[in-house]
Structure 1
């Protein structure tokens, strides 16, 4: 089939594809601009199936270069712009990329990269060369993203066009689609699957994207109140900032979905969101599943607080327990959104799959109605004196304290208990350790209560907003 951008330009050329900083671009304009950009890449010798580093940000230029690479059939290697040059060099070397395109703001980092680097401004000054637009096959690799590397070296996740197509289809079957109204606000990074999946849905649905450079609570509140957007993807920290805004956000009736990813929200946050009119939808997904693969329908959010929802059509989910009497087990996923494998890493790919299922490494359970409740990542589970301590459960208790704004619980080695839980906290207002422990004793079993509290100005996070627990652990 023809590339989705070309098809969309033919079918919906006059319809708006992108809004960015007061400017709008139709699908026809996006196609013509991306095609002109692709000609410049062709002049460099970049061709189909080449892996090409892309160091960008949430802006129109990065958006166009993503589509330009797609028209060529080259595979963008999405680089997290918060990484060090050393970390980027590992990913570029592992992928075999010979070029890296970079947004001019990152020239200092680009200077330390061990490949041929090309700034966006320099590329735009090049003369173009003719190229053959790719014929798209669902089995072709569309994008490469590296896992965060919380255990060992990051692994390159091969995402196919089929993965993106079925992810977008599953999302539409769950949320529905209103052709003349729907628009998705993108405040999550487009170099992560949460952001890239919005761009893919835009092409597949023929839907406009409102792209923001970063999450700004006032800008986002304005968009949610205006009725311009119907969907927005957020992580927990973003949602909490909207709820904590001095002036309450008056959500417009056009807003149908506030899709929460990254981590589960405490029940109090879910209840507060729904009471204030936020159509909050919790979900579960990974880089390896091309975004959400489990989600609640909006009308189920209140009845199933704490759940990530049910598996989206047509994927499959099962819980694999160590003992039949256990409530929790590892979450396994099978279906067309599951990635093609880890690049240049057959051993890791083999270990990640069993009987056609992807072993997510996350722990959870299904209730009697088939709704998934995610308990923890296996690597974050704390086993203290033979008892399982789920950090997320303890963190949610801390976050119910009005004086605490951020919380992360990690395990530390202990000669007596094997591991002990330690809490890393950011305070919103003053509270004593004695008061914290007094409250914890009323809400948690003794073995779950952290043995030590560590206070910080901020906690380390990924670009998508997830707390990096591994950076808090004692080596």
Structure 2
């Protein structure tokens, strides 16, 4: 039997059988054992089935980090339905597009998002506020007891460098091997407790929950990242591991309440793009065990991580490819020499099979089993990866991926805008923010505020440019391709002429 066809007990059933009274989840003092989580997920599954959810259906969730969200994710597994997480920071038109593209059978949402949901134009998808599921009777009949590693677990949307976001298909096998690879690198301790303060709709948050059920590890849930609460939790909730991005680490160590980490804390897993070396050095000075990682939605979380024993010797490196993944740096089809820059490509059982309904994008990204990441890096003589750019034009703002093409499209949809370009600009709090440059149609006049408001109806708040500058022309090459790297040079010209559009 091929490994990707392997059948195994449904993860929550197996975990609840092995360690029923071990703590699974904690949130604001409320604690659920694995047996409690199993009962709750099974009841939700039966109610979802009464609502019409069948095996293979896509179910979209717009929910906060909470105990019930975890139960809902597991409930979908009992039905063989596919989980489609929705970013609550998206604008209503963006959510509407993802619902339509995923062909979601059901859209479940938290009551706290009622106002946002009312602004979404939805056709062909049943919409239910999750607490109303109690109005559906718990159906009779058996639930799934086994899964196969090739079956789809998640469709998670990630923005592309051009056009609409793409739905990354992640199988049970992708998640299984990601969790296994992480454990083989970081080890597994009986007392491990992982803090979930990154969103569950992101791979970072979701991967912790999946590791939890496979490892039998407690996940301590925070609704959102708040530096003082995380610092307090690390000490008082006996947190041993936490996943963060650079902006989160920076806010934590600069908070007055931060006095270092306790002895029981063993891993701050740092992702979300290359970490600034000064930040890593500050962490080293304070004896904070930071392990830099490299990964993406397409790899079901980390695929490269710096091993604990190398964290000081190879400061700034993302490490080596986790077992059993592979990593190369290439220039076209040629594998480059150590120290030479090139595109990072990866292969392994945690890598996606492709994009939902996008065979063209799949064929372009995955060639001969290797995923072309589009990211630039180099490998040193010992095989350690150094990531130089998350993607050539990608902006990492507070751990969120912001793609210039999406913002440019929003700006260009304004009737007064003839051309638009967007790039990132360093920001103390967020790491980077988007700034925009526009050329107006001849004879047109438009204010910066009007363009900002225009974007607000089309983009998530974190994607809206911090400032928009009016320029005469944008830098383009002979093929008329926008050279975003040169946009930053326009700032001096714009400020000489009076700054942004106001």
- Name the TM-score class by shorter chain: 0.7 to 0.9
2:77 matches 1:70: yes
Equivalent residue, structure 1, for 2:492 = 452
Equivalent residue, structure 1, for 2:18 = 11
1:142 corresponds to which of 153, 156, 166: 153
Distance 2:306 2:205 in 1: 19
Q: Is the 8 A contact 1:104 1:119 kept in 2?
A: yes
2:334 matches 1:334: no
**Structure 1 portions without partners, runs of 5+:** 383-394, 424-448, 456-473
2:189 matches 1:178: yes
Q: Is the 8 A contact 1:290 1:337 kept in 2?
A: yes
Distance 2:221 2:112 in 1: 18
Equivalent residue, structure 1, for 2:475 = 414
2:50 corresponds to which of 17, 24, 43: 43
Distance 2:25 2:429 in 1: 38
Equivalent residue, structure 1, for 2:241 = 231
Q: Is the 8 A contact 2:424 2:433 kept in 1?
A: no
2:42 matches 1:32: no
TM superposition score normalised by structure 2: 0.78
With over 3 angstroms needed to count, the CA separation of the structure-2 counterparts of 1:194 and 1:416, relative to structure 1, is: closer
Q: Secondary structure at the match of 1:363?
A: strand
Q: Is the 8 A contact 1:20 1:212 kept in 2?
A: yes
2:94 corresponds to which of 60, 84, 87: 87
**Structure 2 portions without partners, runs of 5+:** 1-7, 396-422, 438-473, 496-500
2:170 matches 1:163: no
2:381 matches 1:368: yes
Q: How far 1:121 sits from its partner (Å)?
A: 1.3
Structure 1 stretch 183-192 or stretch 58-67: which is displaced more?
Answer: 58-67
With over 3 angstroms needed to count, the CA separation of the structure-2 counterparts of 1:99 and 1:419, relative to structure 1, is: closer
With over 3 angstroms needed to count, the CA separation of the structure-2 counterparts of 1:346 and 1:289, relative to structure 1, is: same
TM superposition score normalised by structure 1: 0.82
Distance 1:404 1:107 in 2: 30
Distance 1:28 1:218 in 2: 32
Q: Secondary structure at the match of 1:172?
A: helix
2:255 corresponds to which of 245, 259, 283: 245
Q: Is the 8 A contact 2:298 2:352 kept in 1?
A: yes
Distance 1:8 1:453 in 2: 61
With over 3 angstroms needed to count, the CA separation of the structure-2 counterparts of 1:151 and 1:169, relative to structure 1, is: same
Distance 2:12 2:300 in 1: 19
Distance 2:491 2:91 in 1: 34
With over 3 angstroms needed to count, the CA separation of the structure-2 counterparts of 1:304 and 1:118, relative to structure 1, is: same
Distance 2:108 2:394 in 1: 39
Distance 2:486 2:351 in 1: 33
Q: How far 1:152 sits from its partner (Å)?
A: 1.4
Distance 2:76 2:476 in 1: 53
- What do the CA deviations read for 1:18-68 (whole angstroms, capped 9, x no partner)? 001111000000000110111100101211111111111101121211111
Structure 1 stretch 317-326 or stretch 297-306: which is displaced more?
Answer: 317-326
Distance 2:128 2:425 in 1: 48
